[in-house]
Structure 1
Amino acid sequence: MSLTGTPFFLTALLLLIVAVVLPLGVWGRISGPPAVRVLARLLMLLFAQATAITVVFVLVNNANNLYDNWGDLLGTDNHVQAAKDLGPDGMGGQKLKNEPKQIQQFRPADDPRVGPGVKMTDLTGRISGVSGEVYVWLPPQYDDPAYQHKKFPVVEVLPGYPGSAKAWFGALHVGEQLRPLMQRGEIKPFILVAPRTTILTGADTGCANIPGKVNADSWLSVDVRQMVIDNFRAGDKAHSWSLAGYSAGAHCAAKLALAHPDRYRAAVAMSGYNDPKLEPDSLAGKDPKLRAANNPLNILKAANAAGHPPRTALFVSGAAGDGYQAGIGLKQLAKRPTTVTVQLIPMNAGGHTTAVWRTQVPEIFRWLGKEVRA
C-alpha cells in the first residue's frame, strides 16, 4: 500500500478511531489477574499512541511528499544497478548519437493528488546504471493541432531530501497553478519532468557521480534528459532545458546547470545551499574532494579561471541563512555570460516549507520563460 495514497490514510484514521473507542468500551470489563489487566490496558494505550503518531506522519508526508512507499521509508529499495567511473563528462566514453532511441511506455500517475495530466514511466538509465520512476506533465498546448509541429522547452523539477519525485505536482501544485496561466498565454508552455532523486538507502546523493556508489548526475543530466527527448516533442539543445529545485533539490539544480552548460541554459534554486556538507546525509559532503567538486561556487570559479564562464542563468531565492547568502556568493562570482538573480524571502514568509516554495511557482516560471526557448 502506498504511503501517500488515500487508502493508507483512511486505514490509519480507522485504526485511530478503533484505538480511541476500544478502551472506552472494554476498559472496565477486562478480567483476570491484576497483572493481566494492567498489561492489557497498557497495550491499548500504546496502540492508541502508535496510531496517533501514524496519522500525524501520514498528514505530514502527504503535505510534503517526503516518502512515496515503504521501500523509501525503510530504505529497502535498490535503484542502482551499476556505478562505473563515467569520467568528467559523465558519459563513460559513450555517445548518445550512437544509441537507439529509448522508447518508454507511459501510464497515468499512480497518485490522484498530483492532479490531471501527469504521466509516469519506469526508466532504466543506460549510461548511469540507475533505475527509477519519472513523472512527465505536458502543457495544455501539447495536443493542440496548432502546435503539432512545435517542440517545447523542458524543466526538470527536483524535490528536497528526503523527497518524492512527485512532490512538485503534489505538494507544490505546479501543474494546477501553471495550466490556467499557460492557457491564457501568461506563461510559456513547458514540459515538466520529475525524476526520482532518492536513489540510495539513507543518503542524499547530492546529484553527484560517485564511482562505486551511484551516478546520480548522469541519471538526471543524461539518461532522464535523453529519454524525454526520445519520447516527446522536446527541444534537444541546451537553450531548451532548465532545472528547478528546492532545498537539496536547489543545490542540485544550480550545480547541474553550472556543470553542464551544454545541457541546460537556466536553473532555479529555492532555499538551497552551495556546500554539500550542509546536508548531513549528503555523500558528496562526506568526502573532501567530492565536497569541493560539487560546490556550485567552485564549479563557477573553475570555469571563470579557464576563461569559459558558463552561459547559464540562475534564479536563487531564500531567506537570510536559508539560501540567500548562497545566491549572493554566486552572484559575486558571475561573469558574462553567466547571470545570477537573487531574491530575498522575508523571514516571516513561512520558513523552510513547501508552502513558501509553492507561492513562488508562477514567478519562477515567468522568469524561466524569459531565459529558455524551444
Structure 2
Amino acid sequence: MGLTSDTLLWATALAAALLFTGTVWLWPRLARRTWRAVCGRVGLLLATQLAIFAAVGLAANQAFGFYAGWADLFGRQKDQGVVVDHAAGGAGLKVVNSGPVPGVAGTRPEETGRIDEVRISGRTSRIASPAYVYLPPEYFRAEHRGRDFPAAVVLTGYPGTARALVDKLRYPRTVHQAAREGRMPPMILVMLRPTVAPPRDTECVDVPKGPQTETFFAKDLPETIGGHYRVKDGRGAWGVVGNSTGGYCALKLAIHHPGVFGAGAGLSAYYKAPIDPTTGDLFQGDEELRNEADLRWYIGRRPAPDTALLVSSSKKGESNYRDTVKFIEQVKATGRTRISSIILESGGHNFNTWRREIPAAMEWLGNRLAEAKRS
C-alpha cells in the first residue's frame, strides 16, 4: 500500500478512531491497580496516540507532497535526475568566516576549495543578507591566478536556511566532484535564502514602498560579489538555481533579467507568486507588477527572453507537474527561450528529491554558461 494511498490514510484514520473508542469503552475495566491493568492502559494510550500521529502525518503528506512513497520517506530512492533538452535546434561584502568544503577530502583550498561565510549589503536595494560563497580549488591555484570564473546564485525555499544548501543539499560538494571529473567547468556559488527581508516572504518581488528584493538579486548581489571575487562579467554571465520558492525566484530572475542571468533552474518551482499571510500584499494594487510576477503570463505576452531555463517535477509526488508541462510547452512555442527539464517518475517536495536532481541541474547550468561565453 503506497504512502500517498487514500486507502492507507482512511485505514489509519479508522484505526485511530477505533482505538480511541476502545480506550473509552475499556477504561473502566482497566481501572484496577494490577500490573495487567496498568500495562493495558499504557498500551491503549500509546497505540491510540501512535495511530492519531500516523493519520495526521499521512494527511499532511497528502496535502503538501513532502514524500512520494516509502522509499522516498526513508531516503532509499537514489536514481539521479536526467536533463531532457526541449530546444528545437560592490556596495559591500564582509567575510565573516572561511572554512573547508564539507565532504571533500583534503586540507588546502587549492585541493578542496573554500567556503566563505559573508554578509552582502546592497547599494541600490539597501538590503543586507548573510550568504555562503563557494570558491573552487582552481580559484586558489597559481596557474589560474588571472582567471575569472562563472558564478551562480543558489536559493533555498521559504523560509529555508542558507547552511542547508551546504550541508543537506550539498551544492559545493556536488559541483566540486562534477568539475573534478570534467563534467562541468569549475564555478563560484553564492548560496543564500530568498527571505532577505525576514520574516516576510517577498517572493523576489520589488514590493512597492517595501523591500526591493528583485533589485537585490538582479543588481546588487552580482555587483557586490563581482567586486570582491574573480567572477566573469558580460551579458548573461551569471546562473541562478533554487528549489520551491527559490526555484520560482530562479526562473523569474532569468526571465526578467536575461542580460544578467544566462541560465536559470527551478527545482519543484511554481510559476506565479502567491498571496498569503507570509507574503502580505506584494503588489499594492499594481496590476502590471502582479502580472509580471506570473511567469506564464510574462512568457505569453512579453518578448521572449534570450536565456536558458530548466524546470523539474515528478509524475508522482509533486503538485506542480501539470503546470510544469504547460510551462514547457509555452516556452517552447516562443522559439527563442531555451527550455530543458528533469522529470522524475516519483519524488516528493523534499530534500531527498532535490538531491537527486541537483547533480544534473548543476552540470546543465555550468555547461550552459560555458556555451553562452563561447557564442
Q: 1:313 to 1:269 in 2, by over 3 A?
A: same
Distance 1:211 1:153 in 2: 32
Contact 1:243 1:264 in 2 (8 A): yes
Q: Deviations over 1:8-43 (max 9, x none)?
A: xxxxxxxxxxxxxxxxxxxxxxxxxxxxxxxxxxxx
Q: Counterpart of 1:360?
A: 357
Coordinate RMSD, CA, aligned: 2.5
SS of match in other structure, 2:253:
helix
> 1:59-100: per-residue Cα shift (whole Å, max 9, x none)?
xxxxxxxxxxxxxxxxxxxxxxxxxxxxxxxxxxxxxxxxxx
Question: Is residue 106 from structure 1 mapped to residue 95 from structure 2 by the alignment?
Answer: yes
Query: Following the alignment from structure 1 to structure 2, what is the Cα–Cα distance between the partners of residues 214 and 252?
Result: 15
Q: Deviation at 1:102?
A: 4.0
Which residue does the alignment assign to 1:282?
279
Structure 1 counterpart of 2:329? 332
Retained in 2: the 8 A contact 1:164–1:198? no
Please state how far the C-alpha of 1:278 moved relative to its aligned partner: 7.4
Q: 1:343 maps to what in 2? A: 342
Contact 2:93 2:225 in 1 (8 A): no
Q: CA deviation at 1:337?
A: 2.1
Counterpart residue identity of residue 310, structure 2 = F
Distance 1:268 1:197 in 2: 15
Verify: 1:371 aligned to 2:368, yes or no: yes
Q: What is the deviation of 1:188?
A: 1.3
Larger Rg: 2
- Summarize deviations over 1:231-254 as a string: whole Å, max 9, x none: 111112233211000000000000
Aligned to 2:158: 161
Deviates more, 1:267-276 or 1:329-338: 329-338
1:68 matched residue in structure 2: none
- Verify: 1:311 aligned to 2:306, yes or no: yes
CA distance in 1, matches of 2:276, 2:339: 23
Q: More deviation in 129-138 or 241-250? A: 129-138
Distance 2:100 2:168 in 1: 12
The Cα shift of 1:155 comes to 0.8
What letter corresponds to residue 258 of structure 2 in structure 1? Answer: P
Task: Give 1:143 deviation, angstroms.
Answer: 1.2
Aligned length: 268
Q: Is the 8 A contact 2:127 2:197 kept in 1?
A: no
Matched, 1:122 2:115: no
Assess, with a 3 A threshold, how the Cα gap between structure 1 residues 286 and 325 changes in structure 2: closer, same or farther: farther
SS at the partner of 2:301?
helix
Task: Decide whether the 8 Å contact of 2:148 with 2:230 is kept in 1.
Answer: yes
Would the aligned equivalents of 2:152 and 2:187 in 1 still touch at CA under 8 Å? yes
Amino acid at match of 2:336: P
Q: Deviations over 1:251-300 (max 9, x none)?
A: 00001110011111111111110121277633466766343221111222
Contact 2:238 2:369 in 1 (8 A): yes
TM-score normalised to the size of structure 2? Answer: 0.66
Equivalent pair of 1:206/1:284 in contact (CA under 8 Å)? no
TM-score (normalised: structure 1): 0.66
Deviates more, 1:251-260 or 1:117-126: 117-126
Is the contact made by 1:250 and 1:273 (CA closer than 8 Å) also made in structure 2?
yes
Runs of 5+ consecutive residues of structure 1 not aligned to the other structure: 1-100
* Matched AA of 1:186: R
Tell me, yes or no, if the aligned pair for 2:255 and 2:305 is still in contact at 8 Å.
Answer: yes
* Aligned ranges 1:206-285 → 2 under 5 Å: 206-277=203-274, 281-283=278-280
Tell me: CA distance 1:317–1:146, structure 2 relative to 1, closer, same or farther (3 Å): same
For residues 125-204 of structure 1, what are the structure 2 equivalents within 5 Å? Answer: 125-204=122-201
- CA contact under 8 A between 1:327 and 1:340: conserved in structure 2? no
Give the C-alpha shift of residue 201 in structure 1.
4.1
Cα separation, 1, equivalents of 2:342 and 2:197: 32
Deviation at 1:329, TM superposition (A): 2.6
Contact 2:92–2:123 (8 Å) recurs in 1: no
Distance in 1 separating the partners of 2:327 and 2:369: 20
- Structure 2, unmatched stretches of 5+, are 1-89, 105-112
Task: Quote the Cα distance in structure 2 between the aligned partners of 1:272 and 1:200.
Answer: 21
